[in-house]
Structure 1
Amino acid sequence: MRVAVLADVHANLPALEAVLADVEAHGADRIVLLGDIAGGPMPAETLDVLAGLGDRATWVHGNGERELVDAFDGKPGEGRSAADAATCAALIEQRHRDLMAGLPMTVTLDVDGLGPTLFCHATPRRDDEFVLVDSPISRWNAVLDGVDAGLVVCGHTHMPFDRLAGGRRVVNPGSVGMNYGPAGAYWALLGDGVVQLRRTAYDAAEAAERIAAGRHPEAAWWAEHYVTRPYGDADALEAFAEFTGD
């Protein structure tokens, strides 16, 4: 089995479409969606495309799915993320809410040549925990305590990496729709004993135009900040450091 891993799409439909075409070209058998799928400018359209993958797709939930379902259900939240979730919740329907509700936090699959592989959004124990490529081994050991799989694949921080951590291999495919660093849509291909960190090019100007024409009230702002002028990886690492406790 060859597995394509897509994390942090953030409702950037043009980026998702580009990656899915690349996934097809590389002959992936299974697609694992690592959460934070619909928090962004085109949530309903993005969820409809991914629902069309049927049983070929395996989903885990991120903090974005949890927050979006809560917002749709009218549960109060706090901070900017709650406000963003409420905005997106107004753009989806019941079927989209039901697609995201009840998703597991982790899934383990046996990947050809790589063995049992645990997939999660942020960490195996929380859907909103920040662990970075440069976090110390002591922190990784705490985060992965009790995990039997030799390979762990996580998202959440939007930056790709492949590192060893306390005897395990940890991979982050990067973000499909809200990358930090060089332009493109990031994902990973696993199988045949190999982990490939991939970057798919897409037309950022055209994507920004499509996004800005959508129903999201901050679509034009979103497209400018996350598509045409994405934040750098160094800036993101500095911003996330305050959440890690390292």
Structure 2
Amino acid sequence: MEATFKIALAHGSTRRIDEYILIDTDENYVLELLDEADADILIVGHSHKPYHRIIQTVQGVFKHVINLGSVGKPKDGDLRGCYALLTINNNSSLLLRKSINVEFRRISYDLEASAKAIEESPLPAEFALALRSGR
């Protein structure tokens, strides 16, 4: 039998585009978001800090929250771009804690050219500083 997972994608959260769902956001709150979205996996980004968090429900099911990181304006101190590769296979199950795999991959890019392009654009110069500093 094939594994079936319901996945919700949101910039901030399923409630607000500018809401931070961090690795330490209250577990019950995160479970509410997952329940409201009828999702097993919630993928977010707004904080620009990559993580994979696994939460076990009272029913013994494992839910997953993944922050993809950022390609530009990193906030985790690593200036390279970051994206996540999610692997779900036929043996994956909501009943097994580590049955899905999330791999964070880092890529180098011409950060200085990107920062200079920001400075030459109408965007605030602080965006270029954030890009260079990783915060």
Using structure 1 for the length normalisation, give the TM-score. Answer: 0.42
Identity %, equivalent residues: 29
Separation of aligned partners in 2, 1:113 and 1:198: 24
Q: Which of 216, 219, 224 pairs up with 2:122?
A: 216
Q: Which residue of 2 aligns with 1:180?
A: 75
> How many residues are treated as equivalent by the alignment?
117
Q: CA 1:186 to 1:114, structure 2 compared with 1: closer, same or farther past 3 Å?
A: farther
Alignment pair present for 1:119 and 2:9? yes
Determine if the alignment matches structure 1 residue 145 to structure 2 residue 35: yes
Matched residue, 2:86:
190
More helix by share: 1
CA RMSD of aligned residues (A): 2.3
Shift of 1:127: 1.9
- Counterparts of 2:45 and 2:123 in 1: how far apart (Å)? 27
Q: Is the 8 A contact 2:71 2:81 kept in 1?
A: yes
Is 1:171 the equivalent of 2:57?
A: no
The Cα offsets for residues 120-141 of structure 1, whole Å up to 9 and x where unpaired, read as 1122222222221012212212
Conservation of the 8 A alpha-carbon contact between 1:174 and 1:187: yes
Q: Closer, same or farther in 2 for the Cα pair 1:217/1:169, shift >3 Å?
A: closer
Change (3 A) 1:142 1:186: same
Pair 1:162 & 2:57 matched:
no
Structure 2 portions without partners, runs of 5+: 90-100
The runs of 5 or more residues in structure 1 that have no matched partner are: 1-111, 232-246
Flag the 1:145–1:192 CA change in 2: closer, same or farther, 3 A: closer
Indicate the structure with greater strand content.
2
CA distance in 2 between partners of 1:168 and 1:149 (Å): 8
TM-score normalized by the length of structure 2:
0.71
C-alpha contact 1:114 1:191 (8 A) present in aligned 2: no
User: Residue deviations 1:33-61, cap 9 Å, x none?
Assistant: xxxxxxxxxxxxxxxxxxxxxxxxxxxxx
Q: What is the match of residue 128 of structure 1?
A: 18
Amino acid at match of 1:199: R
